[in-house]
Structures are given as C-alpha cells and as structure tokens.
A = this chain, B = another copy of it.
C-alpha cells in the first residue's frame, strides 16, 4: 500500500515556528523521514527548528528545486508508492501555492497516492484576510508583466475584473515593489483600493490599504521585502457585496456567494 504525500508548509519569516505552524503540522513533519524540498538547506533548518526526533543526517531530503524536473517525478515518488510517507516542503509558505509542488502532486495522484495538505502560513491568504476586500470571490495572478505597455494592459484588465467584485491579488520581486506601486497608483481609478502587504508574519509586517488617490499623495517607500498586492475597484457596490452574504438562492449573473450555507465548509 502506498504512503501518504503530505504538503508541509514552512514558516514565511524567521520567527518562532509555533507562531504560524500548528502543532498538528509539526507532528506530521516529525513522523516523516522522506522530504521533497524546494531547497534542501532551508528544509534542514526547518526540520532542525521543529526538533525532528531523527538526526537530520539520517533523513532523506531530496532537493527538487524551483522547477522540479518531470523526468525525475517517478524516482522521487517511488518511496511513497512503496509505502513510505513523504512531505513536499517549500522554502517558505505553502507548497503548491505560488511555489513548486503541484506537478509532483498531480503525478502522485495519478499513481493513486493520497495527498494530505497541512495547515500553515500563506501570505496571499493572509493579505486577502487583512485587505477588507471581497473574500467571496478572489483571484491570484502571480506576477504582472515587466514590460511597461504589457504591465499597463494587465493593470487595466485586472481593475476591470475586480469590478465583479473580485479581489485581484498578485506579487512582485521585492526590488520592483515601488515601481509597481507607482504604476498602480497612477493608472488605477482614484477610488480603487490597493492593499500592500509587506513581510507578512515577519518582524517588519506592514499591511496598508488605501485608495489609488491616497497612494498617489506620497512617494512609494516600500522596503525590498516580499510583498503581496491586492486590488479592488469600487463599482457594483463592492462594499455592500463584501459585507453581504445573502440568504436567498436567487440566480444571479456571476453566480457565486449567493447561497445560504450554515456549514463548516470554509
């Protein structure tokens, strides 16, 4: 019988593990001896920090890198097919979310391996929670294009999409944070809200939400730290929509979030 493939989140910031990683997640990591790591060095540091009961040198830590090679999936998954449990662990945050791992999971799933996702920090999700923007409908876009014309086009398209209302989230390489924020402040409608979440869960965590017009009033001063951006245009009464979760199952154009659900589904 196959083992289980755990999706093991890593801390985002170099702070105490227990701040953002649940004990349940740490317990699963401690019970594993086979790790598929985005980065072997950071995985070792993480396993040491969580006080893995087995000496680190005796664990199997395979570095799969930032672009795991599909030609090696069979070899990497073999121990799990043969009954051992394994973990995919990213360098930071949740594996498979804006991080490698998804291709390996798809491969493992096709071979009948059960996947068990574990709880941990995700800067995209935390930014959404703190944004006050629509959490009934949202989208993560990864990186915007670098080329000015293409970036401008992407900014206009994401603002239009946000009027659903659908929160638009994206990231940027830290040294380009200020350039991106300037472009957003300049090109988005004055009343469109922009959330800038820097160093989420870290010592310098700073999450600010202002309208484009407000951001325009000051020169961007973002540090060169990992940052998630969120955008929501006002429009189809976005404020009302985010505050509301209607009880009547009326068919509406864009369908979602219009259903009563007294469930534990979220």
Contact = CB atoms under 8 A, between A and B. Distances in A.
B140 A104 contact: no
Interface stretch (A55-63, A78-86, A117-125, A183-191): A117-125
A51 interface: no
A148 to B, nearest CB: 10
Nearest to A68: B243
B140 A137 contact: yes
A252 B145 contact: yes
Interface stretch (A16-24, A29-37, A215-223): A16-24
B125 A125 contact: yes
B109 A264 contact: no
Nearest to A255: B145
A97 interface: yes
Interface string A148-174: 001100100000000000100011011
A173 B261 contact: yes
A135 B101 contact: yes
A24 to B, nearest CB: 3
Q: Per DSSP, are chain A's interface residues mostly helix, strand or loop, or mixed?
A: loop
A141 to B, nearest CB: 5
A96 to B, nearest CB: 4
A244 B68 CA distance: 7
A160 to B, nearest CB: 15
Interface in A243-266: 243-247, 249, 251-252, 255-261, 263-266
A139 B108 CA distance: 23
A137 B170 CA distance: 9
B137 A142 contact: yes
A246 B67 contact: yes
A129 B98 contact: no
A228 B105 CA distance: 18
Contacts of A95: 129
Closest 6 interchain pairs by CB? A142-B256, A103-B243, A226-B265, A19-B24, A106-B132, A105-B132
10 contacts: A19-B119, A96-B131, A103-B132, A115-B132, A119-B119, A138-B139, A143-B258, A170-B256, A202-B264, A226-B263
